[in-house]
Structure 1
Amino acid sequence: MTSANYMKNVPTISCFDLIGRTIKRMIVLAVSIGFLLRMVLAFQVREDLNLLYLFKLSVLGMINDSSLTLIACLFLGLQVLGVSQIKYKKPWGYLIFGFYVVLLLYVLFFHTIFHEYGNVVPTIAQGFFLYKTVSFGLRLFIPHLRSTWSYVVYVGIIFLYAVVLVQFVALGEYLFWDEFGVRYNFIAVDYLIYTNEVVGNIAESYPIKTILTGVVAVAGVLTYWVVRGTRTAFEQPMESKQKISVVLGYGIAVAVCIGVLNYTTKFQATDNVYYNELQANGGYKFYQAFKSSRLDYNHFYEKLDEKQAQAIVNTMYSSTGMKNIQTIVDTLPARKKNIVLITVESLSASFMERYGNTNQITPYLDQLAKESLVFDNLFAVGNRTVRGLEAVTLSRPPSAGESLVKQENNADLFSIGKVLKNQGYQVQYLYGGDSYFDNMKTFFGGNHYEIIDKSSLESSEITFSNIWGVCDEDMFAKALNIFDDNSAKGKPFFSHIMTVSNHRPYTYPEGKINIAGDAQSREGGVKYTDYAIGAFIEQAKEKSWFKDTVFVILADHCASSAGKASLPLERYRIPAMIYAPGFILPKEEKRLVSQIDVMPTLLGLLHFSYESRFFGQDIYKKQYQERAFLATYQNLGYLENDILTVLSPNRKVEQFKVTVPKEGVEYHMEKQTKLDEALVKRAVANYQVASYDK
């Protein structure tokens, strides 16, 4: 039978009919897979679920699956709506094609905004515009390809949907449930951030080639079931009235589905966790986890009796009650010096000559360390800027999931800013970028900081900027002017500056250091930031307020967090120093210190008396006991007595004996077969109490 005769025998449908037909099949497919998955998971916990529960969760599950699937069909609908002959007619076809050609040439041969994000993003942009230009050009100049091309794209989209349903819904949720006993949560969001580690773990744990082959095969069969009989639709594009009706109808349906998904969450609040989780839709749970950005410590981690945990914390910190309240009393009068806190973006200790680097990329900081109280054994709490900001601002162990900086209800917390404001200080946060990024504006504004960011600078004050904001020199220059104004008001000031230049794409003004700005190298970013800090300090020395100012300089986190261990200590070791010539004598502090201890130690050096709820401690108080906190999004670490205790979801607890090799900076970590229960309790108590004590 010829192709023409075959087409005559195939029932014809239009693009208008195609949308409804495809959405129905996608919903049937998603609901079927969702039902089978629920039954498989339910029978793993069958002792907790009766037949009535099974019926209820199945009905609610089908409603949730249908609603999310209809919303997810947005991209499919846009592709079908785009099928048209009008856009190829003169002059529109040539104008559109010319527009794509110009965009392609622009991204191929000019420096664009995409280059501000590193090397990968420009390549992606170039590939995308190349595809759009070639695909539109072929359809414009070879008309008989148009319907076939649209059909192939349609089939490709359906295949991607099928892969997602098979791999990430059916298989992915089964494996996630098998390990954690719940639907997707923030741990799954965490997996998106640590893609290399997760993919490597999967590759080592499962026959990945066999699994992928199976996924592709099953997705191919499902795709055929959805698309069969739809080829002729692309010969009949929708009319304008039909497109309008589809857009209006789909918009109303999506609004209803969003309402349904939000409404059905109220049925997921019973005492039966399995019932709550099984009726939910994994994709929507993932969205909720991404939005809330937190893990419930009490649900996922090892815990103690609440009173026992609080008693351990009270003993460690000489505190009272359930709020870790400490009364700090100094026998000497307070010295209300100005405080300038500089948190440096991605500055690993390993970048400094002091800690073994031979490339001389931090000459100023290395010299400044010799003139400062320098902490040589200090560890960051995390591996993102918001973790460092959380540590120095709130002086508490890192929260499970996302940092408190990015969580909701994070206003009016007990912070270093609050303590100093109560002492009569002006309190400010200075950031060279847009402070809405990473929720900084909401967090610092909600905790009574005056925010000064890129928007506060006049155009004449900006000599260089990239996607992250103005260069560090520009922000430091702005800071000097602000500090002059602060000083004129006659009140002490606390100003927290966050640098930005040591961040990909590592661009900065030319002629400042001996590494070209367009080289976009990490070493260049480090050296330029070092140069900018040096220039800032030297200019500050000429100011009248300098002699009454203490400078605290430390990293927010290391440049990289990847390592052989889940919490590789060498990837958390950061430089930190307190510089105040004539007030704080140079000293090398070799004891173990946590990032959360730096600001309470400074308050001690200034002889402040205050009521505290900090977990961070003044390391020069006699009750101080060396320990450090460090974490990823889900692994919570506690280091004490050369034992690293790691708390993980599923109430998993591990301990490692830590030793530093004589050569190199990589810490050797030997897993312990027998746990030190006292250290486990101290680790658990700190994180457990911190999880509910705000």
Structure 2
Amino acid sequence: MRHSTLIFVVAAFALLTLSRLALALWQWQRVRNAGGLAPLLLRGLRIDAHQIAVLAALPAVLSPLFGHIPAAAAVTSVWYLVAFVLLAFLEVATPPFIIEYDSRPNRLFVEYLKHPREVSGMLWRGYKGALLGGLGALAVIGWAAWALLGHARPDAPLTWWQMPLASVAILAVVILAIRGTLSHRPINPSSVAYCADGMLNTLALNSLYNVFYAVYSMKNEKSASAVYGGMDDDKMHEIVLAQSGLPYPPRNPDFPSLHPQPATRQTPRPLNLVIILEESLGAQYSAALGGADLTPELDALAREAWTFTRAYATGTRSVRGLEAVTTGFLPTPAQAVLKLPRSQRGFFSLADLLGRHGYHSRFIYGGESHFDNMKGFFLGNGFREIVDRQDFVDPAFVGTWGASDEDMFNQLDRLLREDGDRPSFTLAFSVSNHSPWEYPEGRIQTEGNPATVENTVRYADWALGRFFERAKASPYWENTVFLVAADHDSRVFGASLVPVRHFHIPAVILGAGIAARRDDRLISQIDLPPTLLSLIGVDTEHPMIGHDLTRSTPGRAIMQYDNTYGYLKGDDLLVLAPNKTPVQYRYTAPEDYAPVPLDAGLATEALAHALWPSWAYREGRYCLPSQAPVQTEPRTQPAS
């Protein structure tokens, strides 16, 4: 077994490396433009080590104990032979898949298995040469695999005390290879993403890993209709579009929400845009919003900014906030789109839209950007530059979650100064305000135990204030619009079905001549991206259904709390819970929920908004037309 394991590991590494090298040479122009072979091959070795360790884990760990038994050696030989052929089969299938979909085999590879007759006919008629060539290559590889792995050879037995020690040592190596890193979070596709070319980022993977990961990710695609009930598609579109001020029937039936948005603000040049997303900085910490007096710097900024006093987050996780402010996408009971497989390329984002207007888009984060698949999603959807922990030079403080907020703001200030006249969009995401509440000493006056959320909020606020002191004196201040908002609140809890007060967040827009204004309208995070497009002077077209707050009054907020959905319109809160009748409350801040009779019209409106994003994701309709993915199945299902 130990002998077979060694042969399998070496042969598998050779197979995957040679395949990646051949694919890279085939796509050499794109590989060269993205930095050459080295980053691709080095990242590929990490993913290959993970995949090979997964396949070899059980026989490798058990080999010291049972490798000398002929029957065990025979079973191991068959296992490795099948695993090697499976690896080879996916690699052989990769070139025609890239030709068709510009990606390694992914979830479509599995979905097509549901239609064997249609797929086999398509392959034979359209890819006969590739099919025959692939089968020939697979036969040759299978013959070589049989020669290497098809003959069981028992190992020499170890002594009784060597067996457990060897098994433990092998187990440690296997675990390290599967994790792929010594850092906090295990390896995932985002860990090896290295450029803005999505196809090349899949080349850094191997095809078996890409298929397995896509299948694993399908568990996150919870359907809204399965949770809350269905609705006729036409009725759903009519309600959602009407509430967004869009015509029905839509201008483009294939992309119902796609619409032009002329900017309400005309500027001599396109203004820079900076979105500063503050980790867990809910309204409960801001005295200006009725909370504790822990954010004097933010409250001072609010007095000189366009300040929204009734802004609500769409969820309780960072990925939800990132989803809302970068894509304007409504929340669903599924995972945020940053983590869903169908949205990793060709999904609408501000970065892609602004890139079409000549903007350079970047993401700055003090932690590891592959966390929550941020790096993979952003690079696949318009961001051209990722600046994370490994790019920070001599940070003042590095905690569990990464470099401190002041380090992140130092990077932001430096990069904005270097941009010159090039218009840029920057998403800057803070990390310090997160358990275990770590930050550099000597910055703030602490109260009690320094390691508390209250003191960390004080530090995060201090860092924000210091940045804006520099920004106001900088050359970029007059041509940059800043949004400062929280991704979500911290400590989200409560006895109510939807704890509305814990969705209340600060949101202020300032810079570039933005007039100071207190705005008490009820708004959602999804209203912020369209508003920013108007403020930076960009006339464009997009599929976002949030409101441009420079021209309309939404008066509603949308909140996803695990499987529970809250639709707040005025002071009426409509709550949808899994497989239950909707309930309605008269909501008075901060925590008064008075049950009221159900308004059937409001319930239908809420359900339409709950179903629409699941439909848009599933059908690939939340994108610009030139981004539209291949339709893989008839669109005959009810809204989900």
TM-score range, shorter chain: 0.5 to 0.7
- Deviations along 1:36-64, one digit per CA (max 9) or x if unpaired, are xxxxxxxxxxxxxxxxxxxxxxxxxxxxx
Distance 1:668 1:79, change over 3 A: farther
2:538 counterpart (594, 603, 608): 608
Q: Retained in 1: the 8 A contact 2:64–2:167? A: no
2:567 alignment partner AA: Y
Structure-to-structure mapping, 1:245-644, within 5 angstroms: 292-317=219-244, 318-319=246-247, 320=250, 321-323=253-255, 324-330=257-263, 333-334=266-267, 336-358=270-292, 360-410=293-343, 411-449=345-383, 450-458=385-393, 460=394, 462-487=395-420, 490-515=421-446, 519-580=450-511, 583-622=513-552, 624-644=553-573
Distance 1:491 1:78, change over 3 A: closer
Give the equivalent residue in structure 2 for 1:660: 588
Structure 1 residue 535: Cα displacement: 0.6
SS in structure 1 at match of 2:582: strand
2:506 alignment partner AA: P
Q: Retained in 2: the 8 A contact 1:349–1:355? A: yes
Q: Retained in 2: the 8 A contact 1:393–1:416? A: yes
Distance 1:475 1:576, change over 3 A: same
Structure 1 residue 573: Cα displacement: 0.3
Q: Retained in 1: the 8 A contact 2:310–2:504? A: yes
- Deviations along 1:574-602, one digit per CA (max 9) or x if unpaired, are 01000126x11111110100011112112
Q: Retained in 1: the 8 A contact 2:481–2:536? A: no
Distance 1:484 1:332, change over 3 A: closer
Give the equivalent residue in structure 1 for 2:578: 649
Aligned sequence identity (%): 32
Q: Retained in 1: the 8 A contact 2:263–2:533? A: no
- Following the alignment from structure 1 to structure 2, what is the Cα–Cα distance between the partners of residues 414 and 619? 20
Structure 1 residue 548: Cα displacement: 1.1
- Deviations along 1:306-359, one digit per CA (max 9) or x if unpaired, are 11111222222214235211121346635521111100000111101112345x
Structure 1 residue 245: Cα displacement: 11
Give the equivalent residue in structure 2 for 1:689: 612
Q: Retained in 1: the 8 A contact 2:264–2:534? A: no
- Following the alignment from structure 1 to structure 2, what is the Cα–Cα distance between the partners of residues 246 and 543? 58
- Deviations along 1:56-82, one digit per CA (max 9) or x if unpaired, are xxxxxxxxxxxxxxx9xx99x989999
- Following the alignment from structure 2 to structure 1, what is the Cα–Cα distance between the partners of residues 398 and 329? 33
Unaligned runs of 5+ in 1: 1-70, 83-236, 249-286
Structure 1 residue 608: Cα displacement: 2.7
- Following the alignment from structure 1 to structure 2, what is the Cα–Cα distance between the partners of residues 375 and 408? 34
Q: Retained in 2: the 8 A contact 1:507–1:525? A: yes
Q: Retained in 1: the 8 A contact 2:522–2:555? A: yes
2:412 alignment partner AA: A
Give the equivalent residue in structure 1 for 2:184: none
Q: Retained in 1: the 8 A contact 2:260–2:541? A: yes
Structure 1 residue 290: Cα displacement: 7.2
Structure 1 residue 294: Cα displacement: 2.6
Distance 1:80 1:647, change over 3 A: farther
Structure 1 residue 556: Cα displacement: 0.3
1:303 alignment partner AA: G
- Deviations along 1:254-305, one digit per CA (max 9) or x if unpaired, are xxxxxxxxxxxxxxxxxxxxxxxxxxxxxxxxx9777632312233322210
- Deviations along 1:238-263, one digit per CA (max 9) or x if unpaired, are 57579999999xxxxxxxxxxxxxxx
- Deviations along 1:209-253, one digit per CA (max 9) or x if unpaired, are xxxxxxxxxxxxxxxxxxxxxxxxxxxx957579999999xxxxx
Structure 1 residue 468: Cα displacement: 0.4
Distance 1:434 1:247, change over 3 A: closer
Q: What number of residue pairs does the alignment pair up?
A: 420
Q: Retained in 2: the 8 A contact 1:509–1:517? A: no
- Following the alignment from structure 2 to structure 1, what is the Cα–Cα distance between the partners of residues 289 and 451? 24
In proportion to residue count, which structure has more helix? 1
Structure 1 residue 382: Cα displacement: 0.4
Give the equivalent residue in structure 1 for 2:595: 671
Distance 1:599 1:326, change over 3 A: same
1:655 alignment partner AA: V
SS in structure 1 at match of 2:342: coil
SS in structure 2 at match of 1:551: strand
SS in structure 2 at match of 1:478: helix
SS in structure 1 at match of 2:440: coil
Structure 1 residue 683: Cα displacement: 1.4
Q: Retained in 1: the 8 A contact 2:327–2:350? A: yes
- Following the alignment from structure 1 to structure 2, what is the Cα–Cα distance between the partners of residues 245 and 547? 64
- Following the alignment from structure 2 to structure 1, what is the Cα–Cα distance between the partners of residues 309 and 276? 17
SS in structure 2 at match of 1:577: strand
Structure 1 residue 516: Cα displacement: 7.3
Q: Retained in 2: the 8 A contact 1:416–1:599? A: yes
2:566 alignment partner AA: G
Structure 1 residue 692: Cα displacement: 2.1
| Normalised TM-score (structure 1) | 0.56
- Deviations along 1:631-690, one digit per CA (max 9) or x if unpaired, are 12311221113222222322x3423223326xxx3x211334x42121122112222221
Distance 1:80 1:543, change over 3 A: same
Q: Retained in 2: the 8 A contact 1:501–1:529? A: yes
- Following the alignment from structure 1 to structure 2, what is the Cα–Cα distance between the partners of residues 606 and 241? 67
Q: Retained in 2: the 8 A contact 1:645–1:653? A: no
1:362 alignment partner AA: T
SS in structure 2 at match of 1:524: helix
- Following the alignment from structure 2 to structure 1, what is the Cα–Cα distance between the partners of residues 540 and 461? 34
Q: Retained in 1: the 8 A contact 2:328–2:526? A: yes
Give the equivalent residue in structure 2 for 1:95: none
- Following the alignment from structure 1 to structure 2, what is the Cα–Cα distance between the partners of residues 391 and 466? 27
